[in-house]
Structure 1
Amino acid sequence: MTTDPISPGPWLFDGPRPSRRAAGSAPSVVLFDRDGTLVEDVPYNGDPARVRLTPTAREAVAAVRAAGVPVGVVSNQSGVARGLLTRGQVDAVRRRVEELLGPFAVWAVCPHGSDDGCACRKPRPGLVLAACERLGVRPEDAVVIGDIGADMDAARAAGASGVLVPTPVTRAEETEAADTVAPDLLTAARLALACSRAPVAGEVRR
């Protein structure tokens, strides 16, 4: 496989900007992790045909959009650094996700490996910061939804809020450390939209 030059920062893919924004205490953007959150986790997947949505992913994204809040994706893709994925394959999977869920306002993708020392690979805050900067919103007004502790740590490091949706791969200590835990993605989206409002049924706060 031919490898592409890897930039020192994240890859950014822009989408359409929302025509309206929610008012009040709703977040300025909701950023979803990709693998294990929006789609089933297929390690180093570069094949659009293998993309499968997770339960309630379509409903969760639709709920955020219906509230007038932009949606984005923040995703580690270390398969690029390992020579297992190209930028074209990452983009092909991105396009397939958007075929299933509609366009996202921004994608921020880290193509680096864990030993590369980049600032963008979760649990570092770079993906969240880059996505927020691209949309012109403050990180502290953003919410990150993901399935592992690295997603929550990245949100916390960026000053954003986080909602964890545990899966079988989520470690118990990651769930214990999360500020907010949801039983499924749709509940997580509702919690993200609620922000500082009254808790939503099904919420677990720690």
Structure 2
Amino acid sequence: MKKAVFLDRDGVINEVLTNRVKFVNRPKDFYFLPGVPEAIKQLNNHFDYIFVVTNQGGVGLGYMKESQLINIHEHMIKELAKYGAIVHEVAFCPHKPKAGCECRKPGSKMIIDLSRKYDVSLADSYMVGDTDTDIQAGYKAGTKTVFLGEKDPLADAVFSDLKSAAQWIIQDATK
């Protein structure tokens, strides 16, 4: 079976709620956090797949159309490719918060669906996120979990950014 790293998007890959951007509703609002393309490229060298799993309730709430969200993800993938970094697939939940769907994190459906599609061993994979719902989704799916921020009691590891987390993930995966 293959190994993967599942990444949340907002707050892990790109800026959100910063001085430059409040929400990412257009490709021009998309700014990588420092070191992200390099971190993803490093992870590409050690893992079979890098996936993005993201809640995007703005679609369900009417702030953007699903086609706009897809354009943002295509832009992100194209920009990452300029650094030699690859995201193999982006899964997203377009439903409103509290809609009761199975795909919205903390549900693990997006992670499990990708693992089945790509023959990924969840026990040998990692979920990286910046909210407790990201960590809960990874935990429910059976991945190791990495929290970006101050602390999360459920996470296997905590780091301030993806670049730091990537180094730990690579070391942990080669034990």
| Structure 2 residue 25 is the aligned partner of structure 1 residue 46 | yes
1:105 aligns with 2:73: no
Unaligned runs of 5+ in 2: none
Report the alpha carbon displacement of residue 43 of structure 1 after superposing the two structures with TM.
5.0
- The corresponding residue for 2:4 is 29
Structure 1 match to 2:168: 191
Distance 1:109 1:94 in 2: 10
Find the partner of 1:178 among 155, 162, 167. 155
Q: CA RMSD in A?
A: 2.0
Equivalent residue for 1:69, pick from 41, 44, 48: 48
Out of 136, 150, 155, which is 1:153 matched to? 136
**How many residue pairs were aligned?**
167
Q: Deviations along 1:102-132, whole A, 9 cap, x unmatched?
A: 2421111011122211111111111111221
Give the superposition deviation at 1:90. 0.6
* Preserved CA contact (<8 Å) 1:44 1:79: no
Q: Normalising to structure 1: TM-score of the pair?
A: 0.74
SS at match of 1:153: helix
In terms of fraction of residues, the more helix-rich structure is: 2
What is the CA–CA distance in structure 1 between the aligned matches of 2:98 and 2:29, rounded to whole Å?
28
Q: Which amino acid aligns with 1:45?
A: V
Identical amino acids, percent of aligned pairs: 28
Structure 1: stretches of 5+ with no match in the other structure: 1-20, 22-26, 167-171, 199-206
Looking at structure 2, the residues matched to 196 and 97 of structure 1 have their Cα atoms a distance apart, in angstroms, of 26
CA separation in 1, counterparts of 2:119 and 2:65?
29
Larger radius of gyration: 1
Q: Distance in 2 between matches of 1:68 and 1:44?
A: 30
Alpha carbons of structure 1 residues 44 and 50: separation in structure 2 relative to 1, 3 Å: closer
Question: Is the counterpart of residue 118 in structure 1 residue 101 in structure 2?
Answer: yes
- TM-score, normalised to structure 2, is 0.86
